[in-house]
Structure 1
Amino acid sequence: MKQQLKKQAVSIIAASMILSGGAVYAESGTQAVVTSAQVISTEASEHSFRVIANDQNIATAGFMNKDKHIMVPLREISEALGFNVTWHQDKQSAEVSLANSPIWTMVTTDVDQYAYNKMNVQLGAKPTKIAGKLYVPATFFSEIMRSQVVTEGNQVNVSFQNEDVKMVTAQGVITSVNDDEKYKSIQINGTGVEGTILNIDEETIIRNRAGEQVDFSALSLGMSIEVKHSLAMTMSLPGQTYAYEITIVEAADDANMLGTSGAIEEVRQDDEGNLSIVVKGMGMSDVSPEQVVLRIDSETTIVDVEGNVIDSDQLTKDAKVLAYYGPMLTKSLPPIGHAWKIVYLGS
């Protein structure tokens, strides 16, 4: 393994000298070592990539690893694009950020895990340190640093325009709350692979209906919220993004509210005109049933995902809903309860 890395390092250094006129820079960037080497192997030549960042020629060449990922030098490209790079020797990690911007990431040697939008993302290639330089997959700059990457032949072009990070405002109803010690998030408008996961940290501003700032613990199942989140979202299901601001529009009747996300299996109406629905799908918490019978009355709120009130006539068989109820249920199968809120998602 060491012999293979040494051979790869020699090839990369040789390629760098050809593309840069013979100067090779250490990771710290404090000194330049000039060599007179003029020969490069055919193999290294074929798998070396000239790198250009914001129209600047990068002294160090990129290369293709054994898994066919194009690897490029992190520091030189990042600084050419205007990013700040801080090396943490104790963790063998590089912190990359942009001044006056939420763009930030941490890259750790030999770990395929890249911080993006307050999440950890895998790119299929580990950062590799060779001859004192840290290389990352070229996709790091497109997927993590919001840059444009174009590969043509043996040339990689990376560009970045420093623009304000765009935010969007959305409405939703909370379907899941994850209050992990290290990782906090909520899911809105769906469960499982549906809806959106909003990642939350100490910088996320959370306000109650009076506009007062509150803690994460104030968020609970069934709440209607308005959220300002990053336009950038993962391609996973469900999509994940970072929440900058959350405003509680309507609180739940009970902090121990239960919920089921699914489809209406049956609509029932007794001789006195009392309406009830059978909902089957996925429980929104560990104690929420997958199937439940819910009584609908004048106290039940029926809305769409944007909070618009709709008529109970929309609650038909096979309609998709987010149903909130309880926490008191009968011990029957399925259990029976009173619907506090029904969010209509469509037929």
Structure 2
Amino acid sequence: MNKRNWMIAITAAGVLTTSAVAGASSVVEKVSGLLRGDVTVTVNGEETSLHPVYINGKAYLPVRDTAEALGYELSWSGKQLQLSNAAEEEEADLATISGVITSVTPTDDGYRLDVIGHGTNTWILLTADKDTVLTDAEGKKLAAKDLKAGMQIIAEYGPIVALSYPGQSHAATIQVQAQRLVKEEPVYAVTKTDDGWQVQFAELKDGVETPTLTLNAGKETMVVNAEGQPVDWYQIKPGTKVRAYYGPIMTKSLPPQSPLYVLVVLQDMPDAESVKEYRSLAWTFVPEEQKSHLTTKQDEAQVVYADANSAGILPADDKQKKALAELAANGSKVIAVTYNTDQDALLGPLTVVINPETKELIGYFMRM
């Protein structure tokens, strides 16, 4: 609670208790005063029912009524009067995040949790210590040492958050919802379904890539980058490196299936606004004779960063050849916008390459 207290010594002149008295050491004597009903007291421009008593030329007001008129609560303790501002006695606001712990690091006085999820901040570093209230989904108490990467949690933190990136704060409460399984590797296949999306992972068996796990994503599934920023599902293609938090329930089918809760895209990608901009820009650079072959819609193209020195980039002209060489010499990135076509089996997808500095067309990735 935030509370502002005002301490008033009883020996201070200017307040009256139940009767008008003046005290000196252990001597108490009765005094008389004049109640002035014709004198009114106003607070913030509003008239009150208070009327002063004049004693020896000084005006006195009853302290309890005066405190109430000023918006304070009065309490008497020993030789002090304590005034508390009731309007300021309110809980300090705490922020909330619902997500997963991506890492746990021991510190001198507790544990530092790297958390991504939904909330005031989508990425936050939280400190869990002896003052953190830790429970599981049933309310059973847990210890900070029990926290592990992959746990899905709901945490309250603050009110102070360090102005860093990501923000850092103290966890007031943490409720562990479940322990999820974690898989980090490139996507084998991604498919849109009637209920959401399906992500598959595979392993090489006898020289053939064989699906080993299918994860089903719904509306509740979070798809974010490593900083907790949302990622468009269409940004995820075969080969995109991800970290999936799923399960622990799995079917006994082949391959087994499990619900997907959080998918973290580890590949370096532009933010959502930039993706939208580059999709619109790249569409203008698609050759007209190729548009009839595209199977990817304009707003479904994958937009990623690529090294300027990547093999296979064919500059559009000599000017762009020079620009590409300068970007490569500086170790810079280019923007690659990829469209699938009905000729992929023969030629591969069509990838437009854009200069992020000038927004000009650099060229295209070589097709087979």
TM-score, with normalisation over the residues of structure 2?
0.31
Structure whose alpha-carbon radius of gyration is higher: 2
